[in-house]
Amino acid sequence: MIESGQRGVLFITGTGTGVGKTIVTAALAALARAAGQRVAVVKLAQTGVHDGPGSDTPDLETVTRLAGVTDTHELARFPDPLSPEAAARVSGLPPVDLNASAEYIAGLERSRDLVLVEGAGGLLVRYNQAGATIADLSAALHAPALVVTSASLGTLNHTALTVEALAARKIVSAGVVIGSWPDRPGLTERANLADLEVIAGGPLAGVLTEGAGALGRPAFLAVATAGLIPSLGGTYGRR
The C-alpha angle with vertex 75 and arms to 73 and 78, in degrees rounded to 5, equals 125
For residues 67 and 59, the answer to whether their CB atoms sit within 8 Å is: no
Sheet bearing 72-74, strands edge to edge = 72-74, 39-43, 114-118, 8-14, 145-149, 173-181, 206-209
pLDDT at 7: 56
Q: DSSP states of 158-219 as a string?
A: HHHHHHHHHHHTTPPEEEEEEEEE-SS--HHHHHHHHHHHHHHTSS-SEEEETTGGGS-HHH
Secondary structure letter of residue 54 according to DSSP: T
pLDDT at 50: 73
> Would you give per-residue pLDDT tens digits along the chain (239 residues)?
444 334 599 999 999 999 999 999 999 999 999 999 999 999 999 998 876 544 556 889 999 999 999 999 999 999 999 999 999 999 999 999 999 999 999 999 999 999 999 999 899 999 998 999 999 999 999 999 999 999 999 999 999 999 999 999 999 999 999 999 999 999 999 999 999 999 999 999 999 999 999 999 999 999 999 999 999 999 998 75
Q: Domain 8-110+119-138+163-232 classified CATH 3.90.1300.10?
A: no
C-alpha 159/C-alpha 155 separation (Å) is: 6
Every domain of the chain and the residues it spans: 8-110+119-138+163-232
Which residues have a catalytic role annotated? 43
Nearest one of 10, 8, 189, 197 to 116, comparing CA atoms? 10
H helices present in 35-95, as ranges: 59-67, 84-91
Residues 6+ apart with CB under 8 A from 126: 83, 84, 85, 86, 132, 133
